[in-house]
Amino acid sequence: MYCTQCGRPASRYKIVTGGEEREVVLCPACYQALYGRPNARRCPSCGMTFEDYKRTGLLGCAKCYRYFRRELLPAVKDIQGGTAHTGKTPGKDAGENYELLLERARLRSRLEEAVRRGDDGEAQRLGDQIKGLSETIRGGRA
Ligand SMILES: [Zn+2]
Ligand SMILES: [Zn+2]
């Protein structure tokens, strides 16, 4: 069974459209892209989903960082789990800021790339995101 959209190995999914149930044959990626979004978590501030982020690499607003932080930085959970075992638990805010700082570092390297490429639009967008993120980090510490 192959995906009717892209031809990769697929599964059957039941979907409901207009009150009628029907079956579609799609790979998980196409299923997510076509039908997964209505159930996806959305940033309460700008309405962006994590799928949007994965596609564009850009977050909609500064609140997205907090809302999607688990998805953004799955490795952080392991780090926090590790500290829990040793009994050395950093402050809750420290953990949260750590995630935000990682994301900001990632954005900064992308900004440098954009500047090198001479992509002003992208540099502007990333700059705005970094600014928003910095404000979030400062807000978290206040
Ligand atoms: Zn597919
Ligand atoms: Zn947002």
**Is 45 domain-assigned?**
no
What are the residues whose beta carbons fall under 8 Å from the beta carbon of 8, sequence distance 6 or more? Answer: 2, 27, 29, 30
DSSP string computed for 73-90: -HHHHHHHHHHHHHT-PP
Do 27 and 62 lie in one domain? The reply is no
Which residues are close to ligand 2, an ion, with C-beta < 5 A? 43, 45-46, 60-61, 63-64
Task: Give pLDDT tens digits for 48-83.
Answer: 888 788 888 778 887 887 888 777 765 444 444 544
Measured in Å, residue 136 CA sits from the centre of ligand 2 at: 12
Q: How far apart are CA 55 and CA 75, in angstroms?
A: 20
Measured in Å, residue 21 CA sits from the centre of ligand 1 at: 20
**Is 74 domain-assigned?**
yes
Which pLDDT value is given to residue 89? 47
Q: Domain range spanning residue 126?
A: 50-141
Measured in Å, residue 133 CA sits from the centre of ligand 2 at: 11
Measured in Å, residue 34 CA sits from the centre of ligand 1 at: 10
The list of the chain residues with pLDDT below 70 reads 36-40, 73-96, 140-142
